[in-house]
């Protein structure tokens, strides 16, 4: 199987007539973890939803390809079949539908054929074992009564079962305590490999202490303005964004630096 490759070139997008993305360039390959950081309003979540094909986000320029195929020409379900996966910041509850039934239905849709129940259960249990999850979890209703950590762990199970080429995790650490953040990071670490590229969108560097990225990118004003390694996230943790505002010639603002959660 070819190593997946997502290429984003000068991507521009707007929401209800307001430009948000103003020329994003990014390349993500299988086996790589890219962290995207930035202040509120930088365009991080807009990038995630635009890549997933949310109808509210209108592309006004640029190009996105996955293994050479035009992503922007695809419908949202076609993008999922091509190998794009989005983990939501706030997953929805679906009462009456078990985790197992949801995953089997999703997998059938992706494959375009019915997977036999025995084969599906074998796959499901294999992935749950990798993620060190209690198999009874599969019989619960999707996200109903789940804690924040359980919702995010469920999304990691979706990622494991659906086996996308590129996974976009949109603020998957939002609202989680430090133990839940560690669980999510360790889940992604167990799934890392040459056939999966990962984009982690986050405000804070605490998840990056456990899920060590290959690259860190800072978004500002709808663009990626800085790229580097893990040390770039450390600098943001220590100093906030005003040093970057100074470099970009922007006005400094009062901001909170994330607390130390070691």
Kindly report, residue by residue over 204-223, the tens digit of the pLDDT. Answer: 788 888 888 999 999 999 99
CB 99 within 8 A of CB 154: yes
**Between vectors from CA 19 to CA 199 and to CA 87, what angle results, nearest 5°?**
25
The superfamily CATH assigns to domain 5-90+165-248 is: P-loop containing nucleotide triphosphate hydrolases (3.40.50.300)
Q: Where are the domains of the chain?
A: 5-90+165-248
d(CA 249, CA 223): 15
pLDDT at 258 over 80: no
DSSP E strands: which ranges in the chain? 5-15, 18-29, 33-37, 57-66, 69-70, 84-87, 94-98, 141-142, 166-170, 197-201, 215-220, 223-228
Determine the pLDDT at residue 84.
Answer: 96
pLDDT at 22 over 90: yes
Q: pTM to 2 decimals? A: 0.88
Kindly report, residue by residue over 1-21, the tens digit of the pLDDT. Answer: 679 999 999 999 999 999 999
């Amino acid at each position: 199987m070819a190593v997946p490759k997502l290429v984003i070139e000068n991507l521009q997008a707007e929401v209800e007539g307001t430009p948000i993305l103003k020329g994003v360039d990014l390349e993500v390959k299988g086996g790589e973890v890219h962290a995207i950081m930035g202040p509120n309003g930088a365009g991080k979540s807009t990038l995630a939803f635009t890549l997933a094909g949310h109808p509210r986000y209108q592309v006004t320029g640029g190009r996105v390809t996955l293994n050479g195929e035009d992503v922007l020409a695809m419908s949202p379900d076609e993008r999922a079949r091509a190998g794009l996966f989005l983990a939501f910041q706030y997953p929805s509850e679906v009462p009456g539908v078990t985790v197992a039934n949801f995953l089997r239905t999703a997998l059938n849709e992706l494959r375009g054929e019915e997977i036999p129940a025995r084969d599906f259960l074998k796959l499901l249990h294999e992935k749950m074992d990798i993620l060190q999850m209690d198999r009874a979890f599969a019989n619960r209703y999707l996200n109903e009564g789940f804690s924040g950590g359980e919702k995010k762990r469920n999304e990691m199970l979706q990622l494991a079962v659906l086996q996308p080429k590129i996974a976009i995790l949109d603020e998957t650490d939002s609202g989680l305590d430090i133990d839940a953040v560690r669980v999510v990071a360790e889940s992604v670490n167990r799934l890392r490999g040459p056939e999966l590229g990962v984009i982690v969108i986050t405000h804070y560097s605490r998840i990056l202490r456990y899920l060590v990225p290959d690259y860190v990118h800072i978004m500002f004003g709808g663009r990626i303005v800085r790229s580097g390694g893990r040390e770039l996230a450390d600098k943001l943790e220590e100093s906030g964004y005003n040093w970057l505002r100074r470099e970009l010639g922007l006005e400094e603002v009062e901001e909170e630096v994330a607390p130390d959660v070691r």
